Structure 1
């Protein structure tokens, strides 16, 4: 039996998200904003005798505390990323912080529900003149906080749409859609596989007429294998009659009339979005959004109570708000808890790995796939083969899955008849 470990790069165990430092900075910005608002409300409430303002300032302190947990998690994970005591790095620390934040959110939801039910049976007088402006102020702070956090939680994509007309010109793109300039105009080329077998689709960009008989694609794979695809008219686009076999890593020679363009397709690992999600940032955003949702409900409830004298609206919106927060917290607990327990990170990735290993008749005998951090997956692959291939051969087959950051391969040679 041969065992090989792939660790990229150079056996590094740093499995932090791509936007880790940016997310950390933005979380601290929001903490400073909430802290300043907290101090202003508490000091202002004490100076002007407003208990409601003091209460909202104390509420803002719990909000800042939850965000502080997220910021400290980012800092700890970054500072200890190279600590050898962490066998698989500190990438999961954000998930641990997210799980803790979700527990806190659940407790807050229960407290809100308890207070709302209590007030439903034992109503208290409401000072609308003070409560409504405070709720509006809280909503404004939450909107600004959400914008700051969301600003560090985006994806950057490179778009390169400049294509020449020369015969055999070659284009490398990483997006699903490829724009290709031909003699008859610009066409869009993509591999479509949304719930159906993968096929090429060609679509004229400006709606110009395009005959199926004018279009062919020949794929050339790294091992030299070639396949020609013909097309049929589907109305708004042309679709290849033939299905595209896995993997989708090849050179595609697109011929439209007398014009020939070459597009290079690179296989993407198609890992689920959850495998790339930063749950620490997600928890921070959920805190802000939960607070914003409650602020909106409170404003609506207070306005209705003031206008129609419906004092029961205040506890009703409190109960609704508690259910909203609880549902968000439950989703966060479910996702982060699964990661902390090393649940299979991506079913689609597991299927892709099995297809890659068994493509030539080998047998996948065991597979463990778990998340090491945002965008980083670990895997243990055990397989049986009648061939003489060693771990290096299967290492090359799995190299296209860029989310695999730490892989152990076990090869058992079956010499039985």
Structure 2
């Protein structure tokens, strides 16, 4: 007779099993990013050609800056596609959303390189002034600004395109930082905004050169634009790298999880790990120690109000008795 130990497991495991596609994606953001990419490519070619013909550093900077943004927008679109394509791939333990965050970080790096390039070329132009065909450069810069504004309009409002919050009376922890909703879309939006900024600065510089004869204003504007772009790049790099490195323990949700798990006054959280697996979804691992430990399901119920928790793993341990307690029980 086969022993009970050798019998195959007959229990249904499905209640404890689930998929790991925690984020539904942002199909609206993906579609609009592709539209903005097409607009950016067309305008980039026009501005680079016009900047070379007119000799305007501000216009060339705007054109090449737009070119690098086209690359970054292509990375954003690719990240959306890859995350969606591999969403059900079990090899990604906690889903594919961070592919989009990786795209955001890559875009931030591109922004930083653009800032350095514009600053270097603008400084060189301060020492060797070159003639500028102001009227033609102004016309193209205005067209570039119009395209940037249209692109910003397309991306604006797509933040929650594939992402909805349920409203059922539960605590949704809405005091979290909304900058993480869609970092990939935010990266695309920042690239469009920097394009608009360089277009505005180029128009101002060319107008100053045309009406006031301040030819030095053109490269000076290039330096100013580079500084602003660098600041935006650092901010985007900081936010995306924090998600990639799972720096989430300073999030208010970590404190609330600890408070709820310890609400009975007996259980203590010995170890807690919290990390983001979607725009507003988190996974958590907690180790509990209690004198009278309950079943893991009892502690899991205490976390039901936190709808942001898409995946929770709990380890429950009985608190070991101290040597004095052991000796006391033996003496009795």
| Both proteins in one fold, TM over 0.5 | yes
Superposed CA deviations along residues 12-59 of structure 1, whole A, max 9, x for unmatched, are 11132x5511111111111222234345667x869xx76778986665
More helix by share: 2
Higher strand share: 1
In the TM superposition, what is the alpha-carbon distance from 1:388 to its structure 2 partner? 3.3
Contact 1:275 1:346 in 2 (8 A): no
Partner of 1:21: 27
Aligned CA distance change for structure 1 residues 304 and 69 (closer, same or farther; 3 Å):
same
Which residue is equivalent to 1:295?
Answer: 199
Secondary structure in 2 matching 1:411: strand
Corresponding position of 2:91? 85
| Corresponding residue to 2:143 among 137, 146, 153 | 137
- The two structures have a TM-score, normalised by structure 2, of 0.83
In the alignment, what sits opposite 1:101? 107
Provide the residue aligned with 1:411 in structure 2: 316
Task: String of CA shifts for 1:223-273, please: whole Å, max 9, x gaps.
Answer: xxxxxxxxxxxxxxxxxxxxxxxxxxxxxxxxxxxxxxxxx9532223512
1:42-80: CA deviations, max 9, x gaps? 7x869xx76778986665433322111100100000000
Q: Residues 264-279 of structure 1: matches in 2 within 5 Å?
A: 265-270=169-174, 272-274=176-178, 276-279=180-183
Q: Give the one of 256, 259, 266 matched to 1:355.
A: 259
Structure 2 residue runs without a partner (length 5+): 1-13, 326-332
Describe the shift of the 1:334–1:59 C-alpha distance in structure 2 as closer, same or farther (beyond 3 A). closer
1:343 corresponds in structure 2 to 247
* Deviation per residue, 1:269-317 (Å, 9 max, x gap): 2351247421100100010001111111111121112211111211221
Cα deviation, residue 105, structure 1 = 0.3
| 8 Å contact kept, 1:98–1:283 | yes
Q: 1:6-405 maps to which residues of 2 (within 5 A)? A: 11-16=18-23, 18=24, 20-38=26-44, 60-154=66-160, 174=167, 265-270=169-174, 272-274=176-178, 276-344=180-248, 347-361=251-265, 362-405=267-310
| In structure 1, C-alpha distance between the alignment counterparts of 2:125 and 2:272, rounded to whole Å | 54
Deviation at 1:345, TM superposition (A): 5.8
1:398 counterpart SS class: coil
Structure 2 Cα separation of the partners of residues 142 and 36 of structure 1: 12
The alignment's TM-score, normalised by the length of structure 1, stands at 0.67
Q: Say if 1:405 and 1:143 are closer, same or farther in 2 by CA, change over 3 A.
A: same
Q: Secondary structure at the residue paired with 1:144?
A: helix
Cα separation, partners in 2 of 1:363 and 1:21, compared to 1, 3 Å: same
Q: Deviations over 1:67-99 (max 9, x none)?
A: 111001000000001111111110111110000
| CA distance in structure 2 between the partners assigned to 1:51 and 1:28 by the alignment | 31
- Contact kept in structure 2, 1:56 and 1:134, CA below 8 Å: no
Structure 1 unpaired stretches of 5+: 1-6, 159-172, 175-263
C-alpha change, 1:327 and 1:60, in structure 2 (3 Å) is closer
Aligned residues: 305
State the Cα deviation string for residues 144-183 of structure 1 (Å, max 9, x = none): 011101131247889xxxxxxxxxxxxxx94xxxxxxxxx
Whole-angstrom CA distance in 2 between matches of 1:399 and 1:275: 25
Work out whether residues 55 and 131 of structure 2, in 8 Å CA contact, stay in contact via their aligned partners in 1: no
